[in-house]
Amino acid sequence: MHSSTANIDATCEIGEYCVIENNVTIGKGCVIGHHVVIREGTCIADNVRIDDFACVGKKQMKAANSAVTTEKELPAAQIGNNTIIGTHSVIYRGCEIGKGCLIADFACIREEVTIGEKTIIGKGATIENQTSVGSYVKIQTNAYITAYSKIEDNCFIAPCVVTSNDNYAGRSQERFSHFKGVTVKKGGRIGAGSVILPGKVIHEDGFVAAGSVVTKDVDSETIVAGVPSKTFGKVSENQLLKNQ
């Protein structure tokens, strides 16, 4: 079903059983797979590929006891040139995804998320609401980026990394004024299976070794490891972002 108000360039390929709602714009050379749902007002730039069963522009869901989800009307999703969106991925309203990104199969990008250019969001990864992700970032398979986080340019988040934003673990009214996501500054890296506690900052070129639990901020150009993590050493000169 294609709305009569949708603006779909004649060069696009649209698969079977797609739903394209009112005022959607789809640019030149796009390829839309089968059973794709593109919600009202979504703007898709040129040469975008959206694979089967993906949903773009989904409206947010507000649970009765949700601490971080808003009911306000959000702007339509924006998808940049040459981006690829994998099968069964879900991208919410209020998202802005830059050019040349890859959103892999089964990924979920929540409302009010911005993603810079040429960033990779891996299979099954989740980026929660009101988070910013920079350019040339790699967030790998099954990583979880909590709400209110900031991931700067050229960061690397390995598979199955978990971040958190609630030191009260869902208890007490006080928690509502203390939510704080994590910050990974430019060039920061987090190894597989690590856990980053609420509000912690990984400074420029900081490195968290695999399996670590980060309970304190990580200094720039510093390696931390362990449970809880402790300083292990300095990042070698040839590994610094400036030397890549």
Q: Which residues contact 125 (CB under 8 A, 6 or more apart)?
A: 104, 107, 108, 139, 140, 141, 142, 143, 144, 145
213 touches 191 (CB < 8 A)? no
Kind and range of the H or E run holding 49: strand 49-50
Q: Residue 61 above 90 pLDDT?
A: no
What is residue 38's predicted lDDT score, i.e. its pLDDT?
A: 98
pLDDT of residue 70 exceeding 70: no
Which pLDDT tens digit goes with each residue over 120-138?
A: 999 999 999 999 999 999 9
- Strand ranges (E), 152-212: 156-157, 162-163, 183-184, 189-190, 195-196, 201-202, 207-208
Nearest 5°: phi and psi at 97? Answer: -115, 125
What would the pLDDT profile of 222-234 be if each residue is shown by its tens digit? 999 999 999 999 9
Q: Give 166 or 238, the one with higher predicted confidence.
A: 238
Planar angle of CA 101, 120, 40, nearest 5 degrees: 50
pLDDT digits (tens, 9 = 90+) for 198-214: 999 999 999 999 999 99
Backbone phi and psi for residue 101, each to the nearest 5 degrees, phi listed first? -85, 160
**Dihedral sign (CA 156, 162, 167, 172):** positive
